[in-house]
Amino acid sequence: MKKMLLGGVVSTCVVGLLGVSFLATSKEPEPEVAVDKAVVPPVPVAEEEIAPPVVLAPAEGAEHCATPEGQLVRCHLLIDCGPGPKGIAFSPDSQTVWVSILNETPSVEVYAVSNGEKLKTITLGKDGAVEVVFSHDGQTAFVSQMQTDSVYEIDATTYEVRKQHTSGNRWTKVIAESRDGRFLYSSGWISGTVSVLDRTGELPTKSIRVAKTPRGLYLSPDEAWLYVASFGSGKLQRINTQTHRVENVYQGGVLRHLVGDAQGEQVFVSDMRRGRVVRHDIASKATKDLARTDANPNTIDLTPDGKVLAVSCRGRNNPKSYHMKGPEFGSVLLFDTQTGRKLDGIVAGNQPTGLDVSPDGKWLATTDLLDARVRLYALPESAVLVDGDGGRADVYKAEMRKKGSWSQ
């Protein structure tokens, strides 16, 4: 399901074509001219003429963005979207991004990656949406809605809302799909449960009690274990998918999001309280800090090759309320998954929350929750990031601090 979101990213609306393409043409070689019957001079070959890059004009509500000197991840587009963009996900073909609007309708907005064009808005009753995730076969978008405790199925091509499921928990947040597409797992923020929904309807929905305010989920590739991040207790737990037995595997601070590698060997966890990303080894059950982040790390995602971890950090909270803009901008950070070294640092907007890496690995998308904005970045190959001498990792933090009056 996961695609598998950046320099002016595209890394969650439906994505379009690349905004930049290079066209190359070459002249035909000059015809050979015989000087005499025995000697034919070499024919000079015309140099290739490289056409200038063709850049698509941004659609209404979108604009190109400058990339600071030294930043490895190129800023592609800034897109105005609905208020409170919570989650974002690339379509399986990496051409569009789907954005979930938290508290208002339309609940989901889909944008082209190429030029930021709004392709579709999707209304799910009277309420917004929390997260978007795509099925493994790429045909369906699953969207959670916490106000109605629902999971919606939406056709990924036609945008038709096919079905509304009662999730089986309260304030449904994150969704994970079984490999065969039969079962949907979802976390219930208020109920403190994880539910198991049989899409065929043959089995009743199962509700499993877990630690307080569960959010992030990760289903191991062999489907033996479902990992759960507890926001309220800081526990990382795992559920045996056959017996539904729950066990604690790690105690952290405030755990929010989970992502695992394709091999099923490691699970990465964002810890908002401790300002860290930790790495849990599935075989040994050992958990160690991978890297320090900026304040309030939220959503995390891996590049398709598993070598780079992207992290959205909301930044320091407003002392009056985290619903208000704070004293600094948020950031998007990229880390080497082996060493924990920071590979690049990007200054984002107010409370970057949603984040996704595109399935083709070329784009990164984020959402600025309090700015009603989507940011798309072009993501270089992992080798470029790893060998890039840290990009702007040493200098970006000074630009996060706001000057003058910043409170709203």
Exposure pattern of 354-392 as b/e (b: 16+ CB <10 Å)? bbbbbbbbbbbbbbbbbbbbbbbbbbbebeebbebebbb
Rounded Cα distance, 284 and 290, in Å: 16
Domain boundaries, the chain: 55-399
- The answer to whether the CB of 369 falls within 8 A of the CB of 384 is no
| pLDDT 10s digits, 270-295 | 999 999 999 999 999 999 999 999 99
Question: Which residue, chain included where needed, has tokens 């991004």?
Answer: 97
Give kind and range of the element (H or E) at residue 384.
helix 382-386
Q: What is the pLDDT, as a whole number, of residue 18?
A: 36
Can you name the residues that pair with 250 across neighbouring β-strands?
236
| pLDDT 10s digits, 103-125 | 899 999 999 999 999 999 999 99
Higher pLDDT: 18 or 384? It is: 384
- The answer to whether the CB of 130 falls within 8 A of the CB of 51 is no
- The answer to whether the CB of 105 falls within 8 A of the CB of 123 is yes
Structure tokens at 328: 């600094």
CB atoms within 10 A of CB 55: 11
| pLDDT 10s digits, 50-63 | 455 556 899 999 99
**Percentage with pLDDT > 90 across the chain:** 84
390: confidence class by pLDDT, cuts 50, 70, 90:
very high
Higher pLDDT: 403 or 388? It is: 388
| pLDDT 10s digits, 128-159 | 999 999 999 999 999 999 999 999 999 999 99
* Mean local confidence (pLDDT), 353-378: 98
- Comparing CA positions, the residue from 152, 156, 120, 102 lying closest to residue 351 is 102
Q: What CATH number was assigned to the domain covering residues 55-399?
A: 2.130.10.10
Can you name the residues that pair with 120 across neighbouring β-strands?
110
Can you name the residues that pair with 186 across neighbouring β-strands?
175, 195
Rounded Cα distance, 131 and 40, in Å: 69
256: confidence class by pLDDT, cuts 50, 70, 90:
very high
Is residue 41 classed exposed, middle or buried when 0-12, 13-18 and 19+ CB atoms within 10 A define those classes? Answer: exposed
Rounded Cα distance, 353 and 314, in Å: 6
